[in-house]
Amino acid sequence: MYLYLSHFTLTFQLFGNRFHTGDMGRVDEDGFLAVTGRLKEQYKLENGKYVVPTPIEESIAMSRFISQVVVCGANRPHNVALIVPDWVAIRAALEIGDDVDEETLVNDKKVRGLIDEEIKVNCHKLKKYEVPQNWAFVAPFTAANSMLTPKMSIRRKIVIKHYEDIVGYMYGDDGNLSGAYDGSHEKVAV
């Protein structure tokens, strides 16, 4: 990189949008570099399309009804999302009282419709194959359950591993799920 320090266009021609730091980025019309994700987070769908989940998650998390989100879909037909809802905002928007428990809200058609609409609105600039086709509510990612690092970054692999049965269910894998959204789920035969 030292030889090309003052020749940005030559450097960009040689390295494209991949840098040796492991970051992926793009250069905007003003010539500024914008980091769009980590190269090691990139995965390929069954249809051969490469996906970087970070921009998708950032788009979905723009919703005031969603606290945290993890998108996954490596070697699968499409993306799915694990969503941590903001129950306070959802209750306020849908005028639902505190007397209704969260397990009931998880299966409420109005709540599911609200989240569906938020994903649709916030992902309108994404490519069609990047938008999650299905999603599920999950318990919050915290440092206590080892799903967050000390600097509050989501440990994607640990989250996906922990919720692999929910992810499998969203893809229609064998078995059904029963149990609450809080992670106390079990696989049962049909």
Task: Note the pLDDT of residue 188.
Answer: 32
Q: What is the arithmetic mean of pLDDT over 101-114? A: 93
The number of folded domains in the chain is 2
pLDDT classification of 190: cutoffs 50, 70, 90: very low
The tokens of 162 are what?
Answer: 């922990």
pLDDT at 184 over 60: no
Q: Which of 5-14, 49-58, 73-82, 165-174 shows the lowest per-residue confidence on average (mean pLDDT)? A: 5-14
SS3 content of the chain, % helix, strand, coil (to 5): 35, 25, 45
Does 49 share its domain with 77? yes
Q: Which helix (H) or strand (E) holds 82?
A: strand 80-85
- Expressed as residue numbers, the domain containing 66 is 42-188
The string of pLDDT tens digits covering residues 37-63 is 666 778 899 999 999 899 999 999 999
Amino acid at 95: E
- Tokens for 118, please give them: 């938020």
Same domain, 12 and 66: no
Same domain, 28 and 47: no
- What's the CATH code of the domain at 47? 3.30.300.30
Between CA 21 and CA 68 the distance in angstroms is: 26
Identify whether residues 107 and 23 lie together within a single domain.
no
Global pTM reads: 0.74
10 by Cβ neighbours in 10 Å (0-12 / 13-18 / 19+) ranks as exposed
Q: Based on the domain organization, do 16 and 52 belong to the same domain? A: no
In our burial notation (b when 16+ CB lie closer than 10 A, e otherwise), range 144-165 reads eeebbeeeeebbbebbbebbeb
The backbone torsions φ and ψ at residue 103, rounded to the nearest 5 degrees and listed phi first, read -65, -35
Mean pLDDT of 62-70: 96
Q: Is residue 25 pLDDT above 60, yes or no? A: yes
Residues 60, 34: one domain?
no
Q: Is the pLDDT of residue 2 over 60?
A: no
The answer to whether residues 126 and 175 belong to one domain is yes
- CA distance between the termini of the chain: 58
**One domain for residues 30 and 101:** no
Percent of the chain's residues with pLDDT above 70: 76
Residues 121 and 175 in one domain: yes
State the pLDDT at residue 34: 78
Assess whether 85 and 155 both reside in one domain: yes
Same domain (yes/no): 57, 126? yes
> Same domain for 49 and 34?
no
- Rounded to an integer, the average pLDDT of 92-105 is 92
What average pLDDT does the segment 133-147 reach? 94
How confident is the model at residue 45, as a pLDDT?
93
Q: What is the pLDDT of residue 186?
A: 38
**Which pLDDT band holds residue 17 (cuts at 50, 70, 90)?**
low
